[in-house]
Amino acid sequence: MSIHISQIDKTYGYKGHGHTRALEPIDLDIHDGELIGLLGPSGSGKTTLLRIVAGLEQADGGSIHFGERDVTHVHVRDRRIGFVFQHYALFRHMSVFDNVAFGLTAMPRAQRPSSGEIRTRVMQLLEMVRLQDFAERFPAQLSGGQQQRVSLARALALKPDVLLLDEPFGALDAKVRQELRRWLRHLHEELHFTSLFVTHDQEEALELSDRVVVMSNGRVEQIATPDTLYRQPANRFVFEFLGDVNRLEGDIEEEVLTCGNARVAVPGVENGRQELLLRPHEIRLDEQPNARAHLPVSVTAVVPVGAEVRIELEADWLGEPWLATISHADFERLAITRGKRLFAQPSRLHRFDTPRPQTLAPLSVS
């Protein structure tokens, strides 16, 4: 089921008492079977947009279509959606089976499946979410991850046209979140339902989504695949929001930026005061400077993380600490410890004060 959102906007407040613009007019097309992430900081409007799509709130203007069906003014119970909340919203006095079956048993008698059909459907869903052995348990007897899987099974029981999820893994610890993300992606590929989910977790959005909608202050900043979003951010907000960022500010003359005793070649950048950005993986560390860069730094913290080592760096020419991510091989080669003096060598630099974002040509680090 495709979703077409056209010029949806929302303002909170009352005449004479001030107002808050929660959503600027927003256009968004979601294809049949797509898994779309709404990503942004608190107050960006992502949950408001999700609730308007669900019918839990009314927009001030615009329209929403599910396929060819105009649902702009259709009541939430008639939109044929499934909704998964952050805090599960399970009925504590009901078993897992009865929680999943609730929507089916509450249907009008003329539309309600038989008890046998309900049981078959519920057990199929519990098997799908790997909880078939927990049918008779109560929510309090389940872990957080298991409760969220029950919540998802309940949402799918009515075979909704659209599945909406509001911070579905926000209340879970990091390891469980990671497991459920993989599981949801697999389930989505198996069932091919259309889904829209809200998150403020960049890793979650990039891992789960077919496309990501990055929002800020009620506006859509960029809509793109995870790879495009990370490699070709539309503006500085998107670049800074998606991951750690290091800042380098200085005076540029004849394509060389200087800041105190630090300098680095910046091909193609005009003279004047400039601020350039780079990501932690775009920094190489070495024991000596080279012809392109003389950026002396000191190691202040070392954090091994999986396949990488995160190195925090400080220098008197830096306005704030830098973060570099390097391989374990480089970490061992340089024998890095806290307090060690090294030289940073950027491989790429980015600037966003031009009409279009600019990634400078790769810098030689040899």
Share of the chain above pLDDT 90, in %: 51
Q: What is the pLDDT confidence band of residue 19, given thresholds at 50, 70 and 90?
A: confident
The strand pairing partners of 251, in sequence order, are 258, 273
Q: Is the pLDDT of residue 104 over 70?
A: yes
Give the count of alpha carbons within 13 A of 322, CB side only: 33
Alpha carbon distances (Å) from 44 to 38, 48, 170, 325: 10, 9, 17, 29
Q: What is the pLDDT confidence band of residue 38, given thresholds at 50, 70 and 90?
A: very high
The strand pairing partners of 248, in sequence order, are 276
Nearest alpha-carbon partner for 295 in 243, 343, 241, 247? 343
pTM above 0.75, yes or no: yes
- What pLDDT was estimated at residue 262? 92
Domains observed in the chain: 3-241 (3.40.50.300), 246-359 (2.40.50.100)
328 contacts: CB under 8 Å, gap ≥ 6? 304, 307, 308, 309
Do 247 and 328 form a contact (C-beta atoms < 8 A)?
Answer: no
The strand pairing partners of 35, in sequence order, are 195
Alpha-helix runs per DSSP H in the chain: 46-54, 96-105, 115-128, 144-156, 174-191, 202-208, 226-231, 236-241, 328-334
Q: What is the pLDDT confidence band of residue 357, given thresholds at 50, 70 and 90?
A: low
Neighbours of 52 (CB within 10 A): 24
